[in-house]
Structure 1
Amino acid sequence: MYKQANVIIWMLILIITSIWGYSWVMMKASLSFMGPFTFSAFRFGIGAVTLLLIVLIWKVKLPPKEQWKHLIVVGVLQTTIVFLLVMYGLRFVDAGKSSIILYTMPIWSSILAAKFLGETLTKKKWVGLLIGMLGLFMVIGWDFFSEQRMNVIFGEILIVISAVSWAASNVYYRKKLEGLSKLQVSAFQMLFGTVGITVAASIMEWGEPIHWNGELISYILFTGVLASALCFTAWFIILSRIDMVTATLSTLLVPVFGLFFSLLLLDEIITTNIIYGSILIIVGIIICVGTGPMSKGSVPSSH
C-alpha cells in the first residue's frame, strides 16, 4: 500500500512539473495575441480567484492583519516583479532557455540566505554555487561572445533579475511569514502580486490590441486555472507527504520539461552550451539544496 502511494505521488509530481514546463510554451505563444503584462494580469487574476475559492472551500482562515504588509511584499517580489520581467524577457529569449535561467533561483536563495538569514556557506555549498554559476555563464554568457543580438542579452538579464527576485521572496517569507500556511501565503501573495501586474499593464499596455480567439483563451485558462491554481493546490498535498528537499529537487524537472516542449512545439534550437550549462546548473542546485536549510523554506511558484 505504501509503495502504491509513493508511485501515485511521483506520478502526480511528473504531471504537475510537466504542466509547469508546458506553461512556458504557452507563455511564449501568448505574445502573438496580447502584450506580456496584459497576459500576466489575466493569468494571475484568474489564478488568484481560483486559489481564493479553494481557500474558501477548505475553510482556511484569513491571514492576521499584521501580516498583510508582508504578504504584499512577497506578492510584489514573487508575482509582480518575477512575471513582469519574465514575460517581457520572453519577447526576446527562447522559452526553454528562459525556464533554465529562472530556475537558478535556489542558487541566489543560498547567497541571500547567507547575507540576510545568517546561514553558513559551507565548502560543499560554495562548490555548488560555483558549479551553478559556471552553468549560468555557459547558458547566457556565451551569447556575449557569439555576436548575439543585444535585445536577447537584455531579455536574459531581465530573467536573471527575476530569479533573484524570486529568491528574495523566499528569504523574506522565511524571515516574516514562516508561521503562516503556505496555502495562505500563496493565495494572498498572488492576489496582491496580481494587483501590481494589473497596474503595470494598465500603464504600459493601455489601448494595445488584444486578438481574442479560442487559442488565447485556452492559454489563459491553462496557465491561470490549471498551472497556477489547481497544480499549486495539488503541490501542497504532495508537500504534506514528502520531505522538502525531495520536493525542491523535483521542481528541477520543470525547466527540463520546458526545454523539451520548447524544442518539440516551438522548434527552438537547443545548443550544446545550453545543454551542458543546464546540467551544471542542476548539479549545482542539487549540491546547494542538499547541504543547507534553505530547502525547507521557499514559496512554491507555478513557473
Structure 2
Amino acid sequence: MNRIAYLQLVAAVLLFGLAFPVLKIGLTASTPVWLAAARASLSALSAFALLAILRRLAWPHRGDWPVVLSVGVFQLTIYFALANMGVQVVPPGRSGVLSYTAVLWMVPLSLLVGERVGWRGLLGVTLGMAGVAVLIDPARLDWSDRAVVAGHFWLLLAGFSWAIAILHARRHRWRGTPLDVLPWQMAVAAGLLWALALLLEPHGHLDPASADLWIALLYIGTFAGPVGTWAAVSVARTLPPVTGSLGMLGTPLVGIAASAALFGERITPGLVLGTALVIAGIAIVVLDRNR
C-alpha cells in the first residue's frame, strides 16, 4: 500500500509541477480569466466523472457546504484567476514558486485566529519571505513596467487566497471527505470564473482552433486538476502528514525544470537561492505545525 502511495505522491508532484508551464502555453491562445473559467469547467466535469467511476458521487452534506464555498471561492476562483494573470508576465518557474507560498501565509493567518505558533514557524516564515524577496529582486525589478510589478503581486495574492481556504478546510468539521466535495467546489469556481471573465475581460477570448489551448485545457482540466487532486488526497490519507507535505515540496522544482526546458527560463543564482529559501521556510513551518 505504501508503495502505491509513494507512486501517487510522485504523480501529484509531476502533475502539479507541470501546471504553470502548461498554463503559459495555454495563454498564447486565450486571455487569463477566460482560460481559468474554461479550466474550472473542464475540471468540474472531470471530477464529476471521476467520482462517478469511484461510485462516490453524491450531493454534499449540508454541514460541508461552507467549505465547498470557501474552497470554491478562495482556492479555486481567486487562485486560478490571479495565477493566470501572474504567469502571463512572470516566467512560469518563478510563478510556481511565488504562488506556492500558501503555507507561509498560514502562519500570520493562524495568529489572527488565535492559534499558537512556535518560534520555528516564525523562523520558517522569515526564511520563506526572504526567499520571496530574492525571487522578486526589488533592486533589479523594472518598477516602471506596471504589468510585471502587478504580475508578482497577483502571484503572492494567489498564495494568500489559497492559504485562507486551507485554514478554513483545516478547521472545518468534515462530514464527508475533501475528494467527495471536489466536483462541487469546481462547479462553484466555474460559475464564478465565467462571471468574472465577462466582467473583467469583456473582450477576452479562447481560440478553439489553437492546439495550444486544447493541450493546456486537457492537461490542466483533466489531469493536473481532478486526477492530481485525487492522488494528493490519497497520499494524505495513506502516508504520514509530514511525509506527504514535504514530498509535495518537489512541485515547484518540477515547474522550474519544465519551464527551463520548454521556455528557456534561465536558472539564475537568484532563482536557485530564492527557491531554496522558500522551500526551506515551508519545510520548517510544516515540521513546526506537526509538532
With the length of structure 2 as denominator, give the TM-score of the two structures.
0.92
**Residues 228-239 of structure 1: matches in 2 within 5 Å?**
228-239=225-236
Moved over 4 A (4+): none
RMSD: 1.9
Are positions 1:62 and 2:59 aligned together?
yes
**Residues 1-150 of structure 1: matches in 2 within 5 Å?**
5-60=1-56, 61-116=58-113, 118-140=114-136, 142=137, 144-148=138-142, 149-150=145-146
Could you tell me how far 1:257 is from its partner in structure 2? 0.4
Could you tell me how far 1:264 is from its partner in structure 2? 0.9
Measured against aligned partners, the alpha-carbon deviations of 1:218-250 in whole angstroms (never above 9, x if no partner) come to 211111011101222222222222012211111
Are positions 1:252 and 2:249 aligned together?
yes
Kindly indicate whether the alpha-carbon contact (under 8 Å) linking 1:101 and 1:160 is maintained by their aligned counterparts in 2: yes
How many residue pairs match? The answer is 287
Could you tell me how far 1:39 is from its partner in structure 2? 1.1
Q: Pick from 149, 160, 171: which aligns with 1:175?
A: 171
Q: Pick from 214, 217, 220: which aligns with 1:220?
A: 217
Measured against aligned partners, the alpha-carbon deviations of 1:170-210 in whole angstroms (never above 9, x if no partner) come to 11122335443111233322221121111111223344343
Could you tell me how far 1:23 is from its partner in structure 2? 1.6
With the length of structure 1 as denominator, give the TM-score of the two structures.
0.88
Kindly indicate whether the alpha-carbon contact (under 8 Å) linking 2:78 and 2:158 is maintained by their aligned counterparts in 1: yes
Could you tell me how far 1:7 is from its partner in structure 2? 4.1
Query: Quick one: percent identity of the two aligned structures?
Result: 24
Measured against aligned partners, the alpha-carbon deviations of 1:104-160 in whole angstroms (never above 9, x if no partner) come to 1111112212221x32111221211111111111111x1x21142332121111111
Could you tell me how far 1:8 is from its partner in structure 2? 4.0
Q: Pick from 264, 278, 287: which aligns with 1:290?
A: 287
Q: 1:86/1:153 Cα in 2 relative to 1: closer, same or farther (>3 Å)?
A: same
Query: Partner letter of residue 86 of structure 2?
Result: G
Kindly indicate whether the alpha-carbon contact (under 8 Å) linking 2:110 and 2:117 is maintained by their aligned counterparts in 1: no
